[in-house]
Structure 1
Amino acid sequence: MFLDATTLLIQQTSSEAVQLNPHEIAVNLKQFLLVLAVSLGVATLPQIISWLHRIPYTLLLVIVGLGLAFVDIRLVELSPGLILSIFLPPLLFEAAWNLQWSDLKRDFFPICLYAIGGVVITVAGVAIGLNQLANVALPIALLIGACLSATDPVSVTALFRELGADKRLRTVMEGESLFNDGMAVVAFSALSAMAYGASELTPQSILLEFVQVVGIGIGIGSTIGFGISYITQRFDLPLVEQSLTLVSAYGVYLLAEDLGGSGVIAVVATGLILGNFGSQIGMSPRTRVIVTAFWEFLSFFVNSIVFLLIGDQIHFTSLGKNLGIIAVTVGMMFLTRAIAIYGLGWFSNRLIKIRIPIKEQTVLWWGGVRGSVSIALALSVSRSLGDRDAIIAAVFGAVLFTLLVQGLSIQPLMMALKLLGSQPLRQKYVEAIARHMALSRVLQHLDEVELRPNIEPEIYRDSKAVIQEELQLLQTEISRFEVENPAIRDWITQQLHSELIAIEADTYADLVRTGLLNQELSSFLYKRFQDENKFPE
């Protein structure tokens, strides 16, 4: 039986927590508050220094962490158990909650190809390269490949959202990141057993382990997800429903790991079900907004800590001693990523009608950022393994390279390939519309309170004149914007269709909640707009 690394980590973390005395708890709390203060301070820097807007705040946190590491200031000792059991579940759940099943279903085949085939290609390619070019023992090389086989969903999701990437491109990247994360943990557990001499790998044992781990993860995640979805139909208590989603994110992870499954896959399954099914049948529109906002906050909160600590954990002396191994690792990682993306992309384009253009494949290749999951897996390698330091150095060096080099250059790449689309234009347009709506309501309020006593009529007239002048300027700006950017009109129509579909779904959900319907009806408008090719992509 393969070594279940993540379960051992959780058990180790739990046993350590029990042994903490009050003094240690106070020290840990101070360290946590220090990390939080630094990370939140860094996150606000772009609001103070304008040119820092060019750098995504997650990468800015890594850079600041590197600066602290360079002067040997360690905010906290980052343990793999901390990342895997505390930081990872909420980040995975938030990404899955916001991933629309309709979008995921459209590209499910290439996502699965990249998630499964990409892990195999990366592990094999990196291992062969390190073994042949850097004389690294094959079991050690395989462990390094397994650690780096996952494109970290934490890094990728945060980066693509900040850049305002195209919706379909973001879905493929996030979907692959969410699923291949679980595959990487499975591969790492299997290869760890071989490196420790606990078992011999055979095709049958690998397949059996894969089916068991993934199957248990999907089973537990789906059961909990559907169970909470139907429970929340019985009441409308936003704080309780919000708490249930938080408990489910951690609960399914720990339960799946204890039962020999993949906690990552379980969290992703639960998040997808609650975000796409449970939030529609079991939550009122107001509750959905509250829960979504809560997870947006929690994602920002945890991301701010994780990325700062990634930079802060770098040991430059160790990196310097293993530059050769790091260089080979980075080179093979890029090569295997290219083979996986372009090769599997070509295969997918031949089998299904919905193609992934070469430009988008290029972004998927360059956007294969590694992050906290890779670091957690590397740190979880047993100290009894002689080459542990080389594994950690190779993984840390590769992660650092992808975060800084790829992370800082992907926006110029997407701009050069013209894949950022009209996201900045859309944002400006939405801001103008929002201001027009707000001032129109203010003007309406002035009309309603104009007869209020003890207020001079001139105040009303002056206020109305200022607001009406601004409304005219905004209307001119909006009209000019629509003329100069015809594509905005299609987007406006798509947004309206999305709103109409949401209203229809909310009405069915309310009728189910009140007992007038036994089950929620399928969306008439969704099918109609889809048939007319007017549904927003």
Structure 2
Amino acid sequence: MRNNTVAAMQLFENMLLLLALAVLLLQVSRRMSLPYPSMLALAGAVAGLLPWAPQVSIEPHLALVLFIAPALLDAAYDTSPRELVRNWLPLTALVVVAVLLTTAAVAWVGWAHGGLPLAAAITLGAIVAPPDAVAGTTVMQNFRIPRRTLSIINGESLLNDAVALLIFGAAAAAAMTPHLAISSQLPILAASVPAGALLGYLLGKAFVHLAPIVAGTMSATIVEFVMTFGAWLIAEHLKISPIIAVVVFGMTVARYFPSRSNARDRVHSYAVWGAAVFALNVLAFLLMGLQARNIIAQLSGQARMDALAFAGAVLGTVIVVRLAWVLAYGTVIRALHPAFERLGVEVPVAPKRVGVLVGWSGMRGLVTLATAFALPADFPGRDTIVLAAFAVVLGTLVLQGLTLGPLIKRLGIQPDHSLEHELASARTRLVDAALQVLEGQETHKPGVAEVIQELRADRRALSNPAEASTVTELDEARLQALRSQRRLLHELRASGEIEDDVFHVIEEELDWAELNASAAAQARIASV
């Protein structure tokens, strides 16, 4: 018992030191304007080189639900269904075709050159197929590339996770059960997808109606985590797609819950979920670095060189296939664009330079790491697959992530200021809505005139509402104006006059303004 306690404390101390190392590298990332996932990848690699670093393992089944469910929910919440529909063709090309091409190409490399069984090779292909948008968007937002391109990359990041995880589940099951053919699981998968979508929608609607009961308490955060992980676990028990269930759950909550929640809970929820997903990213990269170290340590001589060469071949395949497909797709679409116009079909046509940028932005991240963790210890070729997965994540994040900024400058892509223009237009309309409610009341209610003056100043400068620390009559007027602005904001979103990215930016501004105008007790999260 004593030895177990000492080992547990050593593990805890070592993990704290590793997390501290990650924090230091992340500060370097912030100060040098580098994408933080690239620094996390380097932190994982450095952790694997430290001689005192612990040997850490995670139960495979736990890895998927622990790492994937929160990441999927976070991505689904920020994904606009309207944008998915608008960009259906490029998303289909990236989400379906690119994932299938990458899976097939990597599977061939694994089968022909890595000595993996076919099902295990397909599993490897599914693991490294889905890009992670975090690193790409972190860089691209700084350069203000076209919003539509960012929207496509974000939508791709969510949907290709779902497609790749479906392939992963079928291939991994076939690899562990040799007599079970992958094709035999296709009918089951076909049925599990709509069933998972239905379950996610029902759970999302249930959350929308139940969450207000615990609003304003710490229990609200617990309910969010329970419902998210619960959606995954319930789907697993029902033998339907947990990935689709969590994705639809997140999109349902994002669509219907903001109008039923309050500013206090939203600010608290965003902070908690942002920290949780970020911490899971840090932990996943550190764990992968430690596992890669153990795998390399077990190899010697030629075997180690062969394993590293194979990992490099997989990395090269992943990069080349995506870049080649994106450029080929762009060439075909530009050639067929006149035909689409004659048919009255709107198809976005991006310049070739944007295609190069999208093709080069295929960095891999948390989903690749988590699915590699999820392989059981006796999985055929597990060490080879895990090492290749880590090489792809590290290679793409460092090679592509650190060169995206210079590439954008080299391509000469012009900054897109449409977000700022749409924000200014929406803010102006919200101020007008508040003024319409309050004008004419200044002679009847003290303090209203001051609010009107502030709103008129906001109308001119489009600045944030003034801060206030106590609930005075002026604060009450502010809250009344904010309620009218919030109603209009939801109407603008529902009618499609503004996009979801504009909605979320202004919603957060209104949340903070509401908290500033509220009493301290109302802004504080209660314990229960």
Tell me which of 151, 157, 171 is aligned to 2:131: 151
Identify if the C-alpha distance between structure 1 residues 358 and 318 changes in structure 2 by more than 3 Å, giving closer, same or farther: farther
- Superposition deviation, residue 252 in structure 1: 0.9
Paired with 1:370 and 1:318, the residues of 2 have a C-alpha distance of: 26
| Mapping 1:253-402, distance limit 5 Å | 253-279=232-258, 281-315=259-293, 320-345=305-330, 352-402=346-396
Contact 2:34 2:139 in 1 (8 A): no
Contact 2:139 2:405 in 1 (8 A): no
Contact 1:61 1:304 in 2 (8 A): yes
Identify if the C-alpha distance between structure 1 residues 146 and 500 changes in structure 2 by more than 3 Å, giving closer, same or farther: farther
Contact 1:214 1:262 in 2 (8 A): yes
C-alpha RMSD over aligned residues: 4.3
Paired with 1:141 and 1:361, the residues of 2 have a C-alpha distance of: 29
Paired with 1:208 and 1:503, the residues of 2 have a C-alpha distance of: 58
- Superposition deviation, residue 187 in structure 1: 1.0
- Superposition deviation, residue 283 in structure 1: 0.8
Contact 2:357 2:407 in 1 (8 A): yes
Contact 1:216 1:260 in 2 (8 A): no
| Mapping 1:442-521, distance limit 5 Å | 492-493=424-425, 496=428
Where does residue 188 of structure 1 map in the other structure? 168
Q: Does 1:122 align with 2:107?
A: no
Q: Does 1:222 align with 2:213?
A: no
Where does residue 175 of structure 1 map in the other structure? 155
Contact 2:63 2:373 in 1 (8 A): no
In structure 1, stretches of 5+ residues that fail to align are 1-20, 424-485, 515-519, 531-537
Structure 2 residue identity aligned to 1:260: K
- Superposition deviation, residue 496 in structure 1: 4.2
- Superposition deviation, residue 144 in structure 1: 1.9
Could you report, residue by residue, the CA deviation over 1:512-533 in whole angstroms, capped at 9, with x for unpaired residues? Answer: x99xxxxx98578889x99xxx
Where does residue 122 of structure 2 map in the other structure? 142
Identify if the C-alpha distance between structure 1 residues 162 and 295 changes in structure 2 by more than 3 Å, giving closer, same or farther: farther
Question: Percent of pairs identical after alignment?
Answer: 24
Identify if the C-alpha distance between structure 1 residues 346 and 68 changes in structure 2 by more than 3 Å, giving closer, same or farther: same
- Superposition deviation, residue 319 in structure 1: 5.5
Structure 1 residue identity aligned to 2:250: G
Paired with 1:188 and 1:375, the residues of 2 have a C-alpha distance of: 13
Paired with 1:510 and 1:325, the residues of 2 have a C-alpha distance of: 59
- Superposition deviation, residue 225 in structure 1: 1.0
- Superposition deviation, residue 136 in structure 1: 5.0
* Aligned pairs, number: 437
Where does residue 101 of structure 1 map in the other structure? 81
Identify if the C-alpha distance between structure 1 residues 286 and 121 changes in structure 2 by more than 3 Å, giving closer, same or farther: same
Q: Does 1:213 align with 2:198?
A: no
Structure 1 residue identity aligned to 2:131: T
Structure 2 residue identity aligned to 1:326: A
- Superposition deviation, residue 332 in structure 1: 2.0
Contact 1:110 1:348 in 2 (8 A): no
Q: Does 1:251 align with 2:245?
A: no
Q: Secondary structure at the match of 1:180?
A: helix
Identify if the C-alpha distance between structure 1 residues 312 and 243 changes in structure 2 by more than 3 Å, giving closer, same or farther: same
Identify if the C-alpha distance between structure 1 residues 184 and 237 changes in structure 2 by more than 3 Å, giving closer, same or farther: same
Paired with 2:134 and 2:6, the residues of 1 have a C-alpha distance of: 29
- Superposition deviation, residue 240 in structure 1: 3.9
* TM-score, reference length from structure 2: 0.69
In structure 2, stretches of 5+ residues that fail to align are 294-300, 335-343, 437-478, 488-492, 504-528
Moved more, 253-262 or 123-132: 123-132
Could you report, residue by residue, the CA deviation over 1:252-286 in whole angstroms, capped at 9, with x for unpaired residues? Answer: 1222222222322222222222123212x311234
Moved more, 181-190 or 343-352: 343-352
Contact 1:501 1:526 in 2 (8 A): no
Q: Secondary structure at the match of 1:408?
A: coil
Structure 2 residue identity aligned to 1:96: A
Contact 2:281 2:366 in 1 (8 A): no
Where does residue 67 of structure 1 map in the other structure? 46
Where does residue 436 of structure 1 map in the other structure? none
Moved more, 102-111 or 144-153: 102-111
Structure 2 residue identity aligned to 1:61: L
Contact 1:319 1:393 in 2 (8 A): no
Structure 1 residue identity aligned to 2:315: V
Identify if the C-alpha distance between structure 1 residues 140 and 357 changes in structure 2 by more than 3 Å, giving closer, same or farther: same
Contact 1:154 1:303 in 2 (8 A): no
Structure 1 residue identity aligned to 2:244: I
Paired with 2:289 and 2:435, the residues of 1 have a C-alpha distance of: 45
Could you report, residue by residue, the CA deviation over 1:484-507 in whole angstroms, capped at 9, with x for unpaired residues? Answer: xx9966764465458889999x99
Paired with 1:121 and 1:422, the residues of 2 have a C-alpha distance of: 31
Q: Secondary structure at the match of 2:239?
A: coil
Paired with 2:213 and 2:205, the residues of 1 have a C-alpha distance of: 14
Q: Secondary structure at the match of 2:402?
A: helix
* TM-score, reference length from structure 1: 0.68
Moved more, 355-364 or 128-137: 128-137
Identify if the C-alpha distance between structure 1 residues 86 and 161 changes in structure 2 by more than 3 Å, giving closer, same or farther: farther
Paired with 1:503 and 1:199, the residues of 2 have a C-alpha distance of: 71
Paired with 1:95 and 1:183, the residues of 2 have a C-alpha distance of: 15
- Superposition deviation, residue 188 in structure 1: 1.8
- Superposition deviation, residue 218 in structure 1: 1.5
Q: Does 1:416 align with 2:410?
A: yes
Could you report, residue by residue, the CA deviation over 1:53-81 in whole angstroms, capped at 9, with x for unpaired residues? Answer: 24333322321332231233434514244
Moved more, 232-241 or 108-117: 232-241
